[in-house]
Every structure is written in C-alpha cells, then in structure tokens.
Amino acid sequence: MAWTRAVAYAVLSSQFWLPTKADYIWPNAQIDELEREVFEQENPFDGPGSTVSFVDGCSGPAERALGIGRSFGAEWIRNAYHDMATADVSAGTGGLDASIVFEMDRSENVGDAFRETLGIFQGSHNTRASMADLFAIGAVMAVGACSNGKVIVPFRGGRVDAAGPGPSGVPEPQQDLPTHTLSFAKQGFDTSEMIALVACGHSVGGVHGVDFPEIVPNPVPTNGATNDNTVTFDTTTDNFDNLVAKEFVANVSQNPLAFGQNETTRSDFRIFNADGGDMISQMASSNDFFLNTCTTMFERMINTVPRDVKLTDVIKPLKIKPRKLSVTVNDDQSLSVSGFIRIVDDLIGANGTQVLIHLASRSGEALPVATGTTSQGLTAGCGYPNCGPSYTYFRFSSTIPADQGVSSFTVEIIDGSTGKATIYNNGGGGFPVSDAILPMFSFSSQSSITINGSDQLQLNMTAAVLNAEMYANVSLIVPQPSNKSAPISPWIQEIVHMEPLSKISGTNFTLYRGIWQSSGPLTAVSSHPFDLVAQGATKTVSSLFNSWDDVEFI
Ligand SMILES: *[C@@H]1O[C@H](CO)[C@@H](O)[C@H](O)[C@H]1NC(C)=O
Ligand SMILES: *[C@@H]1O[C@H](CO)[C@@H](O)[C@H](O)[C@H]1NC(C)=O
Ligand SMILES: *[C@@H]1O[C@H](CO)[C@@H](O)[C@H](O)[C@H]1NC(C)=O
Ligand SMILES: *[C@@H]1O[C@H](CO)[C@@H](O)[C@H](O)[C@H]1NC(C)=O
Ligand SMILES: *[C@@H]1O[C@H](CO)[C@@H](O)[C@H](O)[C@H]1NC(C)=O
Ligand SMILES: *[C@@H]1O[C@H](CO)[C@@H](O)[C@H](O)[C@H]1NC(C)=O
Ligand SMILES: *[C@@H]1O[C@H](CO)[C@@H](O)[C@H](O)[C@H]1NC(C)=O
Ligand SMILES: *[C@@H]1O[C@H](CO)[C@@H](O)[C@H](O)[C@H]1NC(C)=O
C-alpha cells in the first residue's frame, strides 16, 4: 500500500497518543530515580562526567578524539535495537530487557558497542533503575543529542532485566529481504515501519571494517595505530537527520549497506526498496516527516517489552522536587532539617522571587518558616535542547526542637515582580519528611579494607531511631547483585542487624550501629544506595535509598 505522508504519520503516531497526566506524588520509588536520570541530566550533585556528556555532539568527545569513526550516540541506539530485536510480539516474549548483556559473543552482535554501552550505564544500575530502563534512556539521550533536540522520545519506566540470554535472531546484513521482513514482523514492525526504523537507526554511525571486513575494506594500519576503518551511512554522521534517506534516493554511494562493494550485504538497499521506494522517498523529501517518524519508531522500539512487563505512564519532570533531604539529631535536643528544593525555572523567573519552606511538626503543627537560598552553580538541566526544563536548587536548613520533630513541608514561591504567593503541596499532603529513623552521617563512615587479602568496602553506619522500644529490630540493608561475576543479576538484600548504643540524652532517639562489608569481587554497584529499616510487630519505619556520597570516606 502506498501511504501518503499524512496517513503514514497519523497511523504511526496514533498508537502512542495518551492524555497528559498530572504531576506524580513525591516520593515514588518507581519513578524518582528514572525522572532524575532523564531530566536532571547535568546537576551539581552527581559528580563529574554526567551520562549525557558521553553523547555530547552525538558521537561524544572521547570517541571523536579517537578519530576512527566511533560514536557513543550510534552505539546506544544500536545497543537498544539489538537488545529489542529478538522480541516475539505475538508470543509476548523478549524486547528491551537487557538480555543483550548475555549475548555479546554472538556473531549477530559483533563489535564493541554493547560492551561499551554496558560499561557506561553499569554505575547507574540499581534497584530503582533496571539496566533495560537505562538502555532505553540511553537511546532517548542518544537520539536527543544527535538530533540536537529535534527527536524527543517520551520515556516510560518499568522494564525488567532478563536473568540470562534470550533467543538469537537480530537481523544481519547478509540476510535476504524475506528473512528481514519476517524478523521485523516478529518484532512488531510491518514493511513500512521496517524501512523507517532502519533509516532512522542509520542516520548516525556507520559500518566498522574491523567488525565487518566483508562489507567495508579493513586495511591494517601501517603505522601500528588502531583504526576501526569506519564507513558512515551518510556524509554527516553526527547529525540525526534525513540525509541517509536523501542520499539513498539520490544514489550517493556513501552507505556501505546500500551501495557497498559486496552485493550480498546491501541490506539497506533491499529494505529501502521493499515497498517500491515509497517510504524512503517520503523520508528523503521531508526532514520533519523523517524526524516525526523516527520519534514514533524509537518510542515503539524502546516500549517493546515482554507481555508481563507493565510500563509506567510517560514520565514527566516534576516542577518541585526535594533533593538530598536530611534530618539529624543534635546533642542539644534539637533536630537539623536541611536539603535542597529543585524548582523549575519557569516558576522563579522574576528577580527577587522568594522561596519559603513551611515545615510541619510530627503532630502537624507549623514550625518556623525556612528560607530557600541559591547560589551560582546550583542549577540543573539537560545536555541537549527540548529534553525538559532547566532548574534551580534552593538550599534550606532549619533547627527544630527534637520533641516536636518534623513530618512534612510545603514550598511557597512568592513572585518577585507580582508579589503573588503560590503554595506547592505535592498533591495536597505536603512533601513528607520523616524523623522516625535517621541516618546519622556525622557518626558514620565508609572505608576500604582488606579481608583475606582482597579489597573490600566497609560501611560503618549509625542511625537514630525515635521511640526505639516500638521496634523488634533495626537493619542496615545494602542491595547487592546475586552474581557478582555476571554483567547483571537479580538483586539480593544484604541485611546487617544494627545494635543499640545509647539514648541521645533529653530526646526519645536511640543510636544504633551496624557495619556492612562487601564480599567477592568489587563491582560498579558495590556501593549501592542503602536502606535503614526498623521493624516491629505493629509498625515499620524506614529511610530508603540513602547515598554513599553523604558518608565520609576515611
Ligand atoms: C560478501 O559478504 C558475504 C556475507 O557476509 C560473504 O560470505 C562474502 O565472502 C563477501 N564477499 C566478499 C567478496 O567479501
Ligand atoms: C538512481 O539509480 C536508479 C537505478 O539505476 C535510477 O533508476 C534512478 O533514476 C537514480 N536516481 C537518481 C536520482 O539519479
Ligand atoms: C534581574 O536583574 C538583573 C540585574 O539588575 C537584570 O540584568 C535582569 O534582566 C533581571 N531579570 C529579570 C527577569 O527581570
Ligand atoms: C518521649 O516520649 C514520651 C512518651 O511519648 C513523651 O511523654 C516525652 O515527652 C518524650 N520526650 C521527648 C524529649 O521528646
Ligand atoms: C577468611 O578466610 C578463612 C579461611 O578460608 C575463612 O575461614 C574466613 O571465614 C574468611 N574470613 C572472611 C571475613 O571472609
Ligand atoms: C565505626 O565508627 C565508629 C564511630 O566513628 C567507631 O567508633 C568504630 O570504631 C567504627 N567501627 C569500625 C569497625 O570501624
Ligand atoms: C554467575 O555469572 C557467571 C558469568 O555470567 C556465570 O558463568 C555463572 O554461572 C553465574 N553463577 C551462577 C551461580 O549463576
Ligand atoms: C524484625 O522483627 C520483625 C517483627 O518482629 C520480624 O517480622 C522480622 O523478621 C525481623 N527482621 C529481622 C531482619 O530480624
């Protein structure tokens, strides 16, 4: 069937239209961490070398410096496609599930792209961000950066990591058109969609001679240097645009999978002509059509998941989000409550805008108001245009009587030009901040120790528990991979029983201490965020997902 551009676009995009949802309520263990990955790409807290910086300028500064035609942007797209490509949508199996990490030695997955992508995302992997979600975020970031913000793929979370390899079946260049048509159909893409997805995927990157010597020449460099001998798919490889389609239609012989020396591996030529050249011509004639189509195709690609996986709604950035909240018991019967409030810049545009934090005591009564202050560098945003809003962080700190305690707060913003005050209350209930069990960072430390001749981490954690007599036990819980030799594996919770030390005088807080030690090989996730949990017959309280960044290294 010959599609007009309008019909094709309407059909491709209609499946994914959903009404916008209101802001979610904070905290949300399923969304908070993913929202941070997607929308707080560059921020002052997460250390240097943000994930998105790897795809700065699409290929990324480190890959560009090599000058051998490697591109992190292209790799992250290829990684997501190869991971998804073994899906069987009618059986409801496979899709984006990170099974690619177990499938790298297959000939259909030749090249360094998969190992490099895993290496970059490994440090971000945790119980709240599956590797499959991170691979999807990688694809979203790559096309966002490579298109300079013209392709913004909506992101849903909730992908579940595979525990081992899946079936093979990633399309390969030497296969014939009926084989490709069948394998794309198995993934859920018809002929037009196959053409579109391949053209979109081949807008950046190229074929590496080191991996595919039968497709492009792979001369050994005479000077002893390494060279990937890359031939790119079009003549502007770092630009995500329709040039790959335009050049194909114009018979520019750049693309080795369309016009390469080896006819057997001209898979793009066969695929682009599979509908008589209709879709690729439409993509060639309009860059807007190309970009819109690619947005839809990549959204479908990353949302292809096993049937039993339920994705979240599209994750939208919160306007107001607490960050690094901390409550500490002082030795003068007071509590220090501090943290940062991330505020979308739209709400604080006017000069002289004030941010006030209205804390409520444990019983819900108003405590003295804290003022939010900001300073240079306390800002966050995305690594490429249109991904999301920019933010400013406002720091606050308050000292309150320990017997009154704290339960929640609201944020008031008073506009500097109109004087209008608006209260943000997190959907009605305020932003919760509990003082039931508290990490006492100033009494805690992390260190490197040697156990039986191997280097290990030690977390020496002190917690303060309010009304400790209500609980049967207090635990320090550090999730760890169940198989530290595997690239990914299901998480297990390593539970350390915390021992009571003493009551903090003049308060109802009791200090507890627990020491966790790593075992086996150290991995990128050895210092996984940890939980403190006090459990009793009638009540359980917790302080979840605490960062090691707040614990002094000694
Ligand atoms: C062309 O590609 C096919 C499939 O990879 C391979 O078997 C063949 O040897 C290649 N031909 C040449 C001349 O490299
Ligand atoms: C490209 O090559 C094909 C096949 O030789 C030919 O039919 C077509 O007219 C050419 N297109 C252009 C723009 O030269
Ligand atoms: C805020 O004040 C500065 C310095 O007076 C001025 O340059 C800037 O334009 C003002 N911004 C707004 C949004 O009014
Ligand atoms: C400790 O708890 C008891 C019982 O709830 C209460 O009566 C007392 O005021 C509390 N003391 C402090 C210092 O909070
Ligand atoms: C150290 O090795 C000994 C002997 O293999 C073993 O009994 C002991 O449990 C090990 N200690 C730790 C902390 O792993
Ligand atoms: C844990 O930290 C406390 C407080 O700094 C210290 O007294 C204790 O010796 C530490 N324990 C270990 C095993 O390092
Ligand atoms: C752990 O992972 C390694 C590497 O993937 C694998 O060889 C080994 O069988 C796994 N061990 C267990 C107990 O599953
Ligand atoms: C802690 O106590 C609760 C309630 O008695 C019990 O159900 C739970 O198994 C205990 N947990 C640990 C880790 O000891």
pLDDT score of 73: 97
What is the tally of structural domains in the chain? 3
d(CA 489, CA 202): 32
- Residue 529 in domain: yes
223: phi then psi, degrees, rounded to nearest 5: -90, 10
- Residue 12 in domain: no
d(CA 55, CA 143): 9
Q: How far apart are the CA of 345 and the centre of ligand 3, in A?
A: 14
Which of 302, 336, 368 is the C-terminal boundary of a domain?
302
- Residue 314 in domain: no
CB 399 within 8 Å of CB 338:
no
Give the number of other Cβ atoms within 10 Å of residue 142's Cβ.
34
375 Cβ closer than 6 Å to some ligand 8 atom: no
- Residue 265 in domain: yes
DSSP β-bridge partners for residue 443:
none
Which of 417, 435, 453 is the C-terminal boundary of a domain?
435
| Closest CA relative to residue 395, chosen from 433, 341, 448, 346 | 341
- Please report, for the domain that includes residue 60, its CATH number: 1.10.520.10
- Residue 310 in domain: no
483 Cβ closer than 6 Å to some ligand 7 atom: yes
Do strands 391-401 and 334-344 pair parallel, antiparallel, or not at all (unpaired)?
antiparallel
* Atom of ligand 5 minimally distant from the CA of 452: 1
Q: How far apart are the CA of 267 and the centre of ligand 1, in A?
A: 13
CB 537 within 8 Å of CB 472:
yes
473 Cβ closer than 6 Å to some ligand 8 atom: yes
Residues 90 and 186 in one domain: yes
Quick one: tokens of 358?
């209205």
Residues 105 and 71 in one domain: yes
- Tracing tokens 């997190």 back to the chain, one arrives at 426
- Please report, for the domain that includes residue 388, its CATH number: 2.60.40
Residues 141 and 288 in one domain: yes
pLDDT score of 22: 65
Residues 92 and 215 in one domain: yes
206: phi then psi, degrees, rounded to nearest 5: -170, -170
- Residue 519 in domain: yes
Q: How far apart are the CA of 253 and the centre of ligand 2, in A?
A: 11
pLDDT in tens, the chain (554 residues): 333 333 333 333 333 333 334 689 999 999 999 999 999 999 999 877 799 999 999 999 999 988 888 899 999 999 999 999 999 999 999 999 999 999 999 999 999 999 999 999 999 999 999 999 999 999 999 999 999 999 999 999 999 999 999 999 999 999 999 999 999 999 999 999 999 999 999 999 999 999 999 999 998 877 767 889 999 999 988 999 999 999 999 999 899 999 999 999 999 999 999 999 999 999 999 999 999 999 999 999 999 999 999 999 999 999 999 999 999 999 999 999 999 999 999 999 888 899 999 999 999 999 999 999 999 999 999 999 999 999 999 999 999 999 999 999 999 999 999 999 999 999 999 999 999 999 999 999 999 999 999 999 999 999 999 999 999 999 999 999 999 999 999 999 999 999 999 999 999 999 999 999 999 999 999 999 999 999 999 999 999 999 999 999 99
* Atom of ligand 5 minimally distant from the CA of 451: 13
93: phi then psi, degrees, rounded to nearest 5: -120, 160
d(CA 465, CA 454): 34
- Length in residues, the chain: 554
Residues 35 and 156 in one domain: yes
Q: Which residue's CA lies nearest to atom 2 of ligand 5?
A: 452
Q: How far apart are the CA of 451 and the centre of ligand 5, in A?
A: 8
**Ligand 4, residues at Cβ distance < 6 Å:** 403, 506-508
d(CA 465, CA 399): 18
Residues 93 and 209 in one domain: yes
Residues 375 and 424 in one domain: yes
Q: Which residue's CA lies nearest to atom 13 of ligand 4?
A: 507
| Residue-number span of the structural domain to which 511 is assigned | 438-550
**Ligand 6, residues at Cβ distance < 6 Å:** 443, 445, 460, 515
Which of 251, 272, 302 is the C-terminal boundary of a domain?
302
Q: How far apart are the CA of 403 and the centre of ligand 4, in A?
A: 7
163 Cβ closer than 6 Å to some ligand 7 atom: no
Residues 184 and 265 in one domain: yes
- Tracing tokens 């645009």 back to the chain, one arrives at 241
Residues 42 and 189 in one domain: yes
Q: What is the number of the ligand closest to the CA of 523?
A: 7
- Residue 96 in domain: yes
Q: How far apart are the CA of 106 and the centre of ligand 7, in A?
A: 18
- Residue 341 in domain: yes
- Tracing tokens 């995927």 back to the chain, one arrives at 201
Residues 451 and 397 in one domain: no
Residues 107 and 218 in one domain: yes
pLDDT score of 16: 33
Do strands 408-414 and 391-401 pair parallel, antiparallel, or not at all (unpaired)?
unpaired
Q: What is the number of the ligand closest to the CA of 352?
A: 3
Quick one: tokens of 379?
């800002």
Q: What is the number of the ligand closest to the CA of 267?
A: 1
Residues 428 and 454 in one domain: no
Residues 6+ apart with CB under 8 A from 250: 284
* Atom of ligand 3 minimally distant from the CA of 351: 1
Q: Which residue's CA lies nearest to atom 10 of ligand 5?
A: 452
Q: Which residue's CA lies nearest to atom 10 of ligand 1?
A: 214
Q: Which residue's CA lies nearest to atom 11 of ligand 3?
A: 351
